[in-house]
Amino acid sequence: MTTPESEASPYQQVLARALLADGGGAVRTAFEEESLLLRCRAAAGRLRLVLTTRQVEADVRGDAAGQVTVEITDVADLPSAVNFARAFGTPVPAAFLSLDLVEDLYAFGDRLQLLLTGALGPGVRVVSVPGSEDSSSRIEVGLTVPQALILAGRLT
């Protein structure tokens, strides 16, 4: 006969015993933080896979604070940034975009902010970062775990 404890991993068993020993407290907080990090990384992985199928080259990562960040680099080269916006069905004529100009980069970021906020709700963060001699232009999109999952679902 198996018990729920015997089906748990050794890590889960130790964590369960620690939770019982201190009544929750600090161990519960640590477990919740780790759980959030794992959910965040899973959401980032799912979004990364979906974006890859949409020909969007982006660095997608999740952090312990529950923030999923999508970083599209080499924005001046256009394809990934335009493909990201077009994935929503938004017409983005590449002929009208010259993202190597700082003003156009900021305007594109503002439009992307409006688009994502409309699709995913408030709290979406879009930052346009102009390039320099040492780095290329990029767009950073900050999402919560639920927003990242909604975005991945809508792009599938």
Q: Kindly state whether residue 26 falls inside one of the protein's structural domains.
A: no
In a domain, 90, yes or no: yes
30 located within any domain: no
Q: What is the DSSP string of 52-85?
A: HHTT---EEEE-TTSEEEEEEE-GGG-HHHHHHH
pTM above 0.75, yes or no: no
Domain span at residue 113 reads 40-155
Q: What confidence score (pLDDT) does residue 22 get?
A: 60
Evaluate whether residue 18 is within a structural domain.
no
pLDDT less than 70: residues of the chain: 1-9, 11-12, 14-34, 74-79, 88-102
